[in-house]
A = this chain, B = another copy of it.
Amino acid sequence: MPENGIYLDHSATTPVDPRVVEAMALFWRDVFGNTESSHAFGREAASALEGARQTVADVLNCRLSEVVFTSSGTEADNLALRGVAWAAREAGRGNHVVSTPIEHHAVGHTLDQLHDLFDFEVTWVPVDGHGLVDPEAIANAIRPNTVLVSVIMGNNEVGTVQRMVHIGRLCREKDVLFHTDAVQVPGRLPLEPDDMHVDLMALSAHKFYGPKGVGLLYVRSDTDLVPAITGGDHERGRRPGTVNVAGAVGLATALQLAEEERVKESIRLRSLRDTLIEGVLTRIPDSRLTGHPRHRLPHHASFVFLGVEGESIVQALDMERIAASSGAACDQGELEPSPVLEAMGFSPEWGVGSLRLTLGRSNTAEDVTQVLEVLPGVIGRLRG
């Protein structure tokens, strides 16, 4: 880790919790079997995998069979979208998907490919200036040939949290499957798919102090799904490839810890976040919060600054040993205003100047103080 750095990019990734590192250690050399092998080495690996699945099911309040381990949140989103879309088309149920313009690329680019290469139609329901989508607008976009609605629960770039229960209820009434990318949510907000009428939900371990390289898809029972990658019959035929047992155990351990510490930690982070937001907006002229002021992830502060370029802010903060981002991590280095901010109605002169500060377990009030001391000078110099 860079010496003395303040890490304010927890929406990009998080360090692995020491308790998670410890939980995974058994699975490198001791319990190393292939879960599909029928001998003792395989059985103990399979038992550990099912233990991890039980832990996840307990946190999500769902069935064991509804938990599919994947290699990432991105792969989980792909399995949900491709899986439902291809299954529905094969069954003649339709070829139309409803989504929003503020999805993570794992959803947005997948829908683009489904459109471009596989003849699906996509309706992008607009969002308001705070990045909120109107549940009734989602419902109104549903047609007889609609097979799926996909809406990101907590936006990675601007932190807005959607009205999930409302959207889910309307989808259920119209008998259309509802998928959500909830990658930013664990440890931050309650996350039971049943409560939200969600049929499919993607998570990624490394966003909640688990390892990179493992995610999961919650899939409600009896959801018709074509595997998006094909091979062996692992994960009940929904996701092939030798299961990453260490990763599954790591994800499960991290998810349980995140949930156990969620209420206390999210209150703490929300307080730091609000200090940060108020401080930035007060001290820096021509600054605006992006995303919703109240319906937002508790660890997430995001801004635009008129007349500066986001990537320059990130680089200047980096010189001050503060790690931040300009929008989503996977778009770093791009100088265009983000499509998310465009969809929210920001003009390019505002939209290019975006900064995301996302708090986490390592952050203290001193970190926030430090940022508030440094950032006004950084913005001032960049404008000068």
Contacts and interface: CB of A to CB of B under 8 A. Distances in A.
Interface stretch (A127-135, A171-179, A299-307, A323-331): A323-331
B229 A228 contact: yes
Interface in A59-102: 70-75, 77-78, 86, 90
Given A2-B44, A86-B117, A232-B74, A240 B36 contact: no
Interface in A260-312: 311
A330 B234 contact: yes
Contacts of A47: none
A53 interface: no
A109 B213 contact: no
A12 interface: yes
A146 interface: no
A352 B106 CA distance: 43
B113 A230 contact: yes
Contact of A323 (B39, B228, B241, B242): B39
Contacts of A328: 232
A34 interface: yes
A224 B40 CA distance: 44
Interface stretch (A187-195, A313-321, A369-377): A313-321
Interface string A15-48: 1101011000000111111101111111010000
Interface string A148-160: 0000000000000
B71 A231 contact: no
Contact of A41 (B5, B74, B75): B5
A143 interface: no
Interface residues of A, number: 86
A349 interface: no
A15 B348 CA distance: 53
B71 A241 contact: yes
A204 interface: yes
A53 to B, nearest CB: 16
B40 A314 contact: no
A54 interface: no
Given A213-B246, A323-B40, A329-B242, A110 B231 contact: yes
Given A229-B229, A231-B106, A212 B246 contact: yes
Contacts of A242: 12-13, 72, 74, 204, 206, 212, 329-330
A347 interface: no
Given A29-B15, A29-B21, A86-B117, A38 B1 contact: no
A12 B14 CA distance: 32
Given A229-B78, A242-B72, A9 B29 contact: no
A74 B321 contact: no
Contacts of A245: 212
B41 A2 contact: yes
A37 B214 CA distance: 19
A7 B41 contact: yes
A244 interface: yes
A105 interface: yes
B42 A240 contact: no
Contact of A244 (B39, B113, B213): B213
Interface string A195-223: 00000000010100001111100000000
Query: Which 5 pairs show the lowest CB-CB distances between chains A and B?
Result: A213-B244, A232-B330, A71-B71, A72-B241, A74-B241
19 contacts: A5-B41, A7-B41, A12-B36, A28-B211, A37-B332, A38-B318, A39-B314, A71-B213, A75-B241, A86-B117, A105-B240, A109-B240, A110-B230, A212-B242, A212-B243, A212-B247, A228-B228, A228-B229, A232-B328
